[in-house]
Amino acid sequence: MAATSWPEEAIKWFSLTFIGLSVTVLLGYTVVMSYFNSKIAGGFMRNRDRTFEELYQERKKNKATTTTAEGSSSKDAEGVNDKEKEYGEKNAPYLIAGFFHPYCNAGGGGERVLWTAIRDIQQKYPHVVSVVYTGDTDVNKQDILERVRTRFNIDLDPSLVGFEFLKKRFWVEDAKWPRFTLIGQSIGSMVLGWEALQCVVPDIWIDTMGYAFTYPAARLFGGCQVVAYVHYPSISSDMIGRVASRESGHNNANEVAKSSFYTILKLVYYRLFALIYALVGKFCHTVMTNSSWTKGHIDSLWGIKSTVVYPPCDTEAFKDFPLRDRERIVVSVAQFRPEKGHALQLDAMAQLLKDHPEYRQKTGGLEKNPKAVQLVMVGSARNESDTNRIKQLKEKASQLGITDNVTFVVNAPFSELQAWLARSKIGIHAMLDEHFGIGVVEYMAAGLVPVAHNSAGPKMDIVQPYNNEPTGYLASTPQEFADAIEKVLSAGDSTLDMQLRARDSVQERFSEKVFEEGLQKCLHEALSREAITIYGRYMLDPPEGGWPSVVEEDKKGKKDK
C-alpha cells in the first residue's frame, strides 16, 4: 500500500482538529442558549402582546380615518361600532410569521420574494401577522412600505405587517469579516438571530436570506416552526471544486489560488464548514429552494428533499411592452454586489467595441453615432460597500476607455426600471452560478433578448428552449458575451420570434401566480392551524375576544367619557 502523502495527512489532522473545536463551540452555544432561554420564555407573551397591540391600534386608526371620510357607522350600547366588534371577536390575528431578512429595504430579487410572500399571506391568511426582522435602521415602517410599493408594485396592509429593527446587523456585514467570511458571517447571523428572538418570538420563523445558523435557536429555544426559502447555498460543491482546481474568483482570492499550502487550508475550511452547514440545516421543518441548481446542492448537503418554488417575477408588468423599434441598449439589472459580474459586463462591452469600433459613442460635438451601443447598469446599492463598488466600476470603465458607452442608474424606482426595459434590445446577466436570475426572467417578459451566464439558474431553468426553439443566448467569457450581443444587434427585427418565445416561456413558468400556488402548498399546514405548539408542549389557542386588553381598554375609555 502506498504511503499517505503529506497533504492528505495535513487535511486529516486539520479536519479532526476543526471537528473537535466545532463540537466544543456547538456544545457551548447550547449551554449558553439554554441559560438565556428563561429570558425568552419570560418575555414571550409580553412581546407578543406588544406586537398585536401596536398593529391593532394602527388598524383602528386606519378605520377611524375611513369612517370619518365615509360617515360614522352604527354604535352599540357600549360605544363600539360593528366593524370594531367584528374585527376584535372574529378576525383578530393570533399567529406571528417572523421573516428574518436583515436587508429588507435593498430592493433586489430576494426582497421581491419577501414582499410577495407577505402579500400572499395577508390575502389568504388574515389571522397571521407578518413581522420583518431588519437591520435597516435608517428608515421607518412607512419608508419601507412606500419603497415596496414603488419598487415592486406591491401594496401591503400596514396593520398586518410589523417591523423589528435590529441594531447588530454589522455582525453580518462583509466589512467585518474580510477573512473567514463564511464562518464569520454565520456566527454573526447567530448574534443577529438572537437579537431578533429577544424582540419577539414568532410562531413561524421564516428565513428568506439564507442564514441557516439561526435555525437551531429558533427551533430549540423559540419553539418555532422553521421555514427556509433558500436562494443559494452558503457553500456548494462548485465552490469547493473551484478551490481544489486553484481557480481564482470572487470566493477564491488570487493569492490563495497560487499557493498549494493555502489551497489545502481553504479546502479543509470549506469541507468542515459544509459539515456544520449540513447540521444546522436539519433544524428546518420546511425547505423551499428557488431553482433546480439550488435544490440539487441543498438536497445533497442537508440530506433532504426540498421543494422548488420559483421566485415571483412580475411578468404582468412587462408583457405589453412593444417588441419592435427597440433602442441599441444593453441593460443590466442587478444589485451592485461583488458576485453579480458587473466587471465581466464591462470587459464584454470593451471587447465588443474593440471588435466593432463603429459601435462607439462619439464624444464632443452635437452629432451622435446612430450605431452606438449603450450598456446601462440598473441596480440598487445596499450600503457603503456597494457604493464604493460602483465607484470602482466607473474607474474600470474609464480604464477600459468605454465611459461614453456606459451609464449607471442607482436605486431607481420601479417606474424607471420599466422605462429602461421597454426601451432596451438586450438584457445582460453575467453572474457565475446565479442561483436563479429574476432579472433574466424580467428581460424575457419585457421582450428583450437575454444574454446570460452559461451556468446554474439561467442555464438550467430560464434560458431554455420553448417549443424546441431558442429563447436567448448563454455565454461565459467576455468574447462570448460580445459575440452574442453582436448577433442580436446585427439581426435587427428578425429576433422577433425569439422575443415572443421568451415572453411566452416565462409567463407560463415564473409568474407571481405560480409562486403563490407553490408557497401556499408548502406553508398551508403551518399557517392555517387553529392552534400551534409552543416549545413542543404548550398550546396557543385563537383568542375568543381578539386582543382583550386593547378592546376592554377601548370600551372602558368610552364609558368614562
Other beta carbons within 10 angstroms of residue 432's beta carbon come to 18
Ranked by mean pLDDT, the top range of 13-17, 62-66, 337-341, 501-505 is: 501-505
The reported pLDDT for the residue numbered 269 is 86
Element (H, E) at 149: helix 141-152
The reported pLDDT for the residue numbered 44 is 58
Work out the average pLDDT over 118-145. 94
Residue 129: how many CA atoms within 13 Å on its side-chain side? 30
> Which cell is 107 given?
430592493
Q: Is the pLDDT of residue 377 over 60?
A: yes
Other beta carbons within 10 angstroms of residue 471's beta carbon come to 22
Q: Which residues of 208-305 form beta strands (DSSP E)?
A: 225-230, 286-289
Q: Determine phi and psi for 109, rounding to 5 degrees.
A: -65, -35
**Digit-coded pLDDT (tens) for 111-131:** 999 999 999 999 998 889 999
DSSP state for residue 170 in the 8-state scheme: G
Q: Which long-range contacts (CB under 8 A, 24 or more apart) does 6-14 make?
A: 7/260, 7/264, 10/264, 10/268, 11/264, 11/267, 11/268, 14/265, 14/268
SS (H, E, C) 467-514: CCECCCEEECCHHHHHHHHHHHHHHHHHHHHHHHHHHHHHHHHCEHHH
Q: Which residues lie below 8 Å from residue 387, measured CB to CB, with a gap of 6+?
A: 336, 381
The reported pLDDT for the residue numbered 231 is 92
Residue 444 to residues 203, 272, 373, 431, 437, Cα–Cα distance (Å)? 38, 40, 20, 17, 11
Q: Is the pLDDT of residue 163 over 50?
A: yes
Dihedral sign from CA coordinates of 243, 247, 253, 258:
positive
| Calpha distance 351→342 (Å, rounded) | 14
Residues 101 and 115: beta-carbon distance below 8 Å = no
Pseudo-torsion of CA 281, 460, 386, 149, nearest 10°? -90
Single pTM value for the model: 0.74
Please state, rounded to an integer, the average pLDDT across all residues of the chain.
Answer: 83
